[in-house]
Structure 1
Amino acid sequence: MKSISAIVVAIGAASAATLAGCATVEEPPARVSTPQVSVAAQEAAAKPEAPRLKRRIAVTRFSNSTRYGKSLLYDGENDPLADQARDMLVKRLVESGQFMVFERDNLDELAFEQSLRNESNDFDLVGVDAVVIGSVTEFGRKTEGQSGFLSSTKKQTAQAVVEARLVDPRTGLAFNSASGQGNASVEAGEVAGFGSRAGYDASLNDAAIGSAVSDLTSELVSKLADRRWSTDILRLDGSQVIISGGSKQGLRKGHVLSVETQGETVKSSQSGLPITLPGKKVASIEVVSFFGDDEYSEGAIATVITGDLSSYDKDSLVVVEGGQL
């Protein structure tokens, strides 16, 4: 009997050791979505937060440059993956609070709604500082798994890369570019028939695209913020200057801005592009109050602290960023 008991104990120990060496998952982990945050975005996030004056941007064409989702049912301008990436990018740019984002993709629908109101079909469109044109350049999925004695695991991963270029609408020059990478994964496993089994998870595609777009948005925010901000003068009244833009666009009471003459625009024979020559600084103004209901209709009232604007026409001047008091 002792020998039989010893054999049973030995078999139990061997079985336990075998199960311990199998691929096991105690609990299936939650889905993980990871944007591949760029070094530039990390450095920008590490800097002290400062007021940022909002730029006007528009997101136009977005395309799907991958083979994923290609079908005879979709043409090149109506690809679901590209439309999804564009909508996600517009949403994140609006939520960032750094830009005024203008619609350019659905003007026909807007014209129809305007006609229902018995209004003119001529849009009073606002010019923008930059146009964003982008594409989904990489997208793929992979499934990895491990099998052992009485156990198995399965991991599904989706990866995406979204790229965009920033175009100056005045010249058509692509002056900068940005890219975003992201991935999403889910894992499940079972031991001796117990645990979870994972089928095809289509929502991983959405999570991977969303992560890539989030990374792209971080790069766009840092790169567009480097462009010079300017606004126009609505009215000159002695030492009082009324300008476009207010607190919701990043201006604060006490902000000191520079007033310059409009620089002459000349064509460069070297590049073939128009170049605006530097204007002459003629005054400094300090923001004292705001008016208006929202960021698109508000303005600021400023007073002249240095210089004299009495001999200038408001249309010949431009207001640009200056130092803080």
Structure 2
Amino acid sequence: MIKKIILAGISALTLSACAVPDKVAKPVEAPVSQAQQEEAQKQAFATPEVTRLKRKVAIARFSNETRYGKTFLRDGENDPLGKQATDMLSSRLVESGKFLVFERPDIEKIKKEQEYTQASNLIGVDTLIVGSVTEFGRKTVGKSGFLSSTKKQVARAKVEIRLVDSKTGHIFFSANGAGEASNEANSVAGFGNRSEYDATLNDKAIAAAVSSVMNEIVRKLDERPWRTDILKREGSTVFISGGQSQGLSIGDTLDIMKAGDTIRSAQSGFDIELPAQKIGSLKILSFFGTDETNEGSVTQITSGTMENSSVSEYFIAEGAN
């Protein structure tokens, strides 16, 4: 009788060991999930109550500096990893509501941006964003026991992003971000979850890397003073570039600034612009244009005077409303 009880107990233990675990493994992102990063960014973007005018930025296509995804069948233009990073960064900037984002997929660094401003129908921008995926890799780790095993897939990415003044070519800010994503599966005695190759981990790791550096980029871009050009002046009526897409409203007051002289520094070799001088104010009366690439504003001078000189000597800056 005792022998039968012992055999029954052993059988029960064996069956329980072969049972599929109730808990289903879920993908895990480390160290901070993409959802948490995106929520933190939304809160950071929504915090300021002061209305700021949108800056114009352009994203050059990211380069893939890693060996991942590069084969002799792909040329420099067929770079899915770099294009992924570009698209994700562009989406984050647009979602922030602080910028007008344009793309320069075939730009040849800063000189091309200067050519666009002077001799092309592509809109000029204040800042050019360039970057690269500097690290990317995947690994699979696991543990095996007498009857159970665990398999974990991990993807990790690192991006480097630089902000460049499109007028001078000077890199005024650089930052890097890293992200990681993982997926874990468990099995007992051959039963349970199978951990197949998860291609979405690549996307999640890159997204986490871009998200980790977004707050720094937005803050630095937002620190740059907003300014726009004068298109034409007819007496006290002044036509300026920019309109509703940049956050301007009818009745807004802007400052008329006279640019300072530009002097080349013998020490650094850079052209240094002396401080601009406020010479008056103007008020927005109406808008014209069809979209963000050709919109403008009709304004009226409310204080100060503009000398009978070229409008290129002046620019418009954000004023107190």
Which stretches in structure 2 are left out of the alignment for 5+ residues?
A: 108-118
Q: Work out the CA distance in 2 between the residues paired with 1:310 and 1:76.
A: 51
Say if 1:151 and 1:190, in contact at 8 Å, map to a contact too: yes
Instruction: Give distance in 1, aligned partners of 2:309 and 2:303.
Output: 15
1:22-61 to 2 correspondences below 5 Å:
26-30=23-27, 32=29, 34-35=33-34, 44-45=44-45, 47-61=47-61
Amino acid at match of 2:182: S
Q: After TM superposition, give the deviation of residue 162 of structure 1 in Å.
A: 0.9
Match of 1:164 in 2: 161
Matched, 1:210 2:207: yes
User: Where in structure 2 are the equivalents of 1:274-293 lying within 5 Å?
Assistant: 274-293=271-290
5+ residue gaps in structure 1? 108-121
**Inter-partner Cα distance in structure 2 for 1:190 and 1:91:** 38
Residue by residue over 1:259-287, the C-alpha shift from the partner in whole angstroms, topping out at 9 and shown as x without a partner, is: 11122111112211011111221112233
Q: Is the 8 A contact 1:58 1:130 kept in 2?
A: yes
Deviations 1:261-314 (A, max 9, x none): 122111112211011111221112233433332222222233333323375653
**Residue matched to 2:301:** 304
Distance in 1 between residues matched to 2:128 and 2:55, nearest whole Å: 11
Q: 1:200 aligns with which of 186, 192, 197?
A: 197
C-alpha displacement of 1:62: 2.6
C-alpha contact (below 8 Å) 1:140/1:160 kept by paired residues: yes
> Normalised by the size of structure 2, how large is the TM-score?
0.79
- Is 1:80 aligned with 2:69? no
2:114 aligned residue: none
Per-residue Cα deviation, 1:101-136 (whole angstroms, up to 9, x for no partner): 3343247xxxxxxxxxxxxxx743433212222111
Render the CA deviation track for 1:217-274: whole Å, top value 9, x for unaligned: 4432221111111111233344443321112112234433211112211111221101
Deviates more, 1:170-179 or 1:140-149: 140-149
8 Å CA contact 1:19–1:149 kept in 2: the answer is no
Q: Is the 8 A contact 1:238 1:310 kept in 2?
A: no
Aligned AA (1:284): S
- The aligned residue for residue 253 of structure 2 is 256
**What is the identity, as a one-letter code, of the residue corresponding to 1:221?**
V
Aligned to 1:98: 98
* Contact 2:93/2:101 (<8 A) preserved: yes
Note if contact 1:139-1:158 (Cα within 8 Å) is conserved in structure 2: yes
Assess if the C-alpha contact under 8 Å between 1:24 and 1:151 holds in 2: no
**Aligned equivalents of 1:77, 1:294: Cα separation in 2:** 30
Residue equivalent to 1:185: 182
Give the structure 1 partner of residue 62 of structure 2: 62
Contact 2:68/2:137 (<8 A) preserved:
yes
Rounded Cα–Cα distance in structure 2 between residues aligned with 1:90 and 1:309: 39
Q: Distance in 1 between matches of 2:290 and 2:46?
A: 33
8 Å Cα contact 2:55/2:226 also seen in 1: yes
1:74-109 C-alpha deviation (Å, 9 max, x unpaired): 4556543223323433444345443333343247xx
Q: Tell whether 2:136 aligns with 1:139.
A: yes
- For the residue of structure 2 that corresponds to 1:82, the secondary structure is helix
2:212 maps to a residue whose letter is D
TM-score by length of structure 1 reads 0.79
1-structure distance, mates of 2:309, 2:180: 56
Shift of 1:187: 2.0
Report the count of equivalent residues.
307
Q: 1:156 to 1:164 in 2, by over 3 A?
A: same
Tell me the amino acid that sits aligned with residue 211 of structure 1: A
Q: Give the corresponding residue for 1:314.
A: 311
